[in-house]
């Protein structure tokens, strides 16, 4: 398998490392700089000279450039890519690129992985191990190419989940972009409290030992990668603005509860947060046995995407997905592996798209 990686930094380099070692893929990289470092890191088999060179005979292409440049680079990559090549990106916001591109070969993507240090020299073969990886297929997405991308991403060690771009950006505003904004706010506030008034001169932080572990954790992402994050903020400004409004409303509720002085109510609020966090983490860690769900679908673009999105919306993780077109090409057989406990629900969600019955494997083990 040939994989092109356009933009070989931390994420692109990790895709290359994992694809070479886990999928035995041949990886060609393309970057404006850093080719020698990418080769030294083992992230690519070779650096390409230009897009046509990078995309020649490629089965898949990963566009790993900053969010602000995504639409343009994805368009160029699609222009250079073969007809059967699936093209994806790894941007942290999805509406922009998904709206800009209308091509059955493109599937937006977003791995939930990263590191404090950028650059291909920090790339890791196991960066995506057990990480969530959002995919944003649309009504125009080719089922065969979506299936291939799904397989590649599980092969890299990640867990793909389909989601529509709007939901993706709203969820990311709540679970990633807002925490980044808040980390910056916490740092600014601590700095202003800890610095002496201007008259005291040095501007040095006072009260040296106040940086306890909870503050360090709460602000770990403060100020991360300004050149990347300014574009993420800008690309998701509307959803992030709404998330900030909601956070402000919640803070004002908490403030009212404090003013009310009801210790029992404060304890109940604290306990509810603990339970909600456990539920979120448990949902994210859910594993266990899988079961197969099998159905026939019309062989047209968007059908597999619609299936994947429908299960993604319900929180049903598709561990694997296989597609086999019928001999005459008009229909396709889809096999999905989903958590056994959700198989009945998954089968029911598949019914509206199925040609005929949806079968759920009795016991795959």
Site for its own copies in 140-199 (CB under 8 A): 159, 161, 163, 167, 170-172, 174-176, 178-194, 196
Site for its own copies in 311-330 (CB under 8 A): 312-315, 317
Quote the least distance from Cβ 204 to its own copies, whole Å.
Answer: 6
Which CB sits closer to its own copies, 98 or 240?
A: 240
Which CB sits closer to its own copies, 264 or 365?
A: 264
Q: What is the CA radius of gyration of the chain?
A: 23
Query: What does each C-alpha distance from 167 to 88, 173, 323 come to in angstroms?
Result: 18, 10, 26
CA angle 360, 283, 62 (to 5 degrees): 80
352 binds its own copies (CB under 8 A): no
136 binds its own copies (CB under 8 A): no
Site for its own copies in 71-130 (CB under 8 A): 112-114
Of 83-91, 202-210, 288-296, 357-365: span binding its own copies (CB under 8 A) = 202-210
Burial 308-323 (b: 16+ CB within 10 A, else e): bbbbbeeebbbbebeb
Which of 207, 289, 344, 352 touches its own copies by CB under 8 A? 207
Distance CA(308)–CA(293), nearest Å, equals 12
Of 35-43, 49-57, 93-101, 237-245: span binding its own copies (CB under 8 A) = 237-245
Distance CA(108)–CA(164), nearest Å, equals 10
Count of positions on this chain that bind its own copies (CB under 8 A):
109
Where are the alpha helices (H) located in the chain, listed in sequence order? 10-23, 35-41, 51-55, 70-80, 95-100, 143-155, 165-172, 178-194, 213-218, 226-235, 237-260, 263-285, 303-313, 343-350
Site for its own copies in 18-47 (CB under 8 A): none
243 binds its own copies (CB under 8 A): yes
Give the DSSP H/E element, type plus range, for residue 61: strand 60-63
Which of 36, 49, 139, 204 touches its own copies by CB under 8 A? 204
Distance CA(311)–CA(174), nearest Å, equals 21
10 binds its own copies (CB under 8 A): no
Site for its own copies in 45-74 (CB under 8 A): 68
């Amino acid at each position: 398998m040939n994989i092109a990686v356009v933009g070989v930094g931390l994420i692109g380099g990790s895709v290359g490392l994992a694809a070479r070692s886990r999928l035995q893929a041949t990886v060609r990289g393309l970057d404006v700089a850093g080719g020698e470092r990418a080769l030294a890191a083992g992230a690519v088999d070779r650096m390409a000279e230009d897009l046509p060179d990078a995309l020649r005979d490629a089965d898949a292409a990963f566009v790993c450039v900053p969010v602000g440049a995504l639409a343009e680079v994805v368009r160029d990559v699609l222009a250079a890519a073969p007809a059967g090549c699936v093209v994806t990106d790894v941007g942290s916001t999805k509406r922009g690129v998904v709206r800009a591109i209308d091509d059955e070969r493109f599937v937006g993507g977003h791995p939930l992985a990263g590191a404090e240090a950028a650059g291909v020299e920090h790339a890791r073969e196991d960066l995506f191990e057990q990480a969530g990886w959002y995919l944003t297929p649309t009504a125009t997405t080719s089922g065969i190419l979506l299936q291939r991308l799904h397989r590649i991403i599980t092969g890299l060690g990640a867990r793909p989940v389909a989601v529509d771009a709007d939901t993706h950006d709203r969820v990311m505003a709540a679970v990633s972009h807002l925490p980044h904004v808040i980390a910056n706010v916490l740092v600014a506030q601590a700095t202003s409290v800890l610095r002496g008034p201007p008259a005291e001169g040095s501007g040095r932080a006072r009260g040296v030992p106040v940086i306890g572990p909870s503050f360090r954790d709460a602000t770990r992402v403060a100020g991360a990668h300004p050149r990347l994050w300014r574009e993420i903020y800008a690309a998701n400004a509307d959803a992030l603005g709404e998330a900030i409004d909601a956070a402000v409303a919640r803070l004002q509720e908490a403030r009212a509860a404090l003013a009310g002085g009801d210790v029992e109510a404060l304890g109940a609020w604290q306990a509810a947060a603990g339970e909600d966090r456990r539920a979120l983490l448990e949902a994210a860690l859910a594993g266990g046995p899988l079961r197969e769900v099998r159905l026939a679908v019309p062989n047209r673009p968007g059908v597999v995407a619609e299936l994947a999105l429908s299960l993604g919306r319900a929180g049903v993780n598709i561990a694997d997905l296989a597609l086999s077109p019928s001999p005459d090409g008009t229909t396709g057989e889809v096999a999905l592996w989903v958590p056994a406990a959700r198989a009945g629900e998954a089968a029911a969600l598949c019914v509206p798209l199925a040609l005929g019955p949806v079968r759920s494997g009795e016991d795959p083990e």
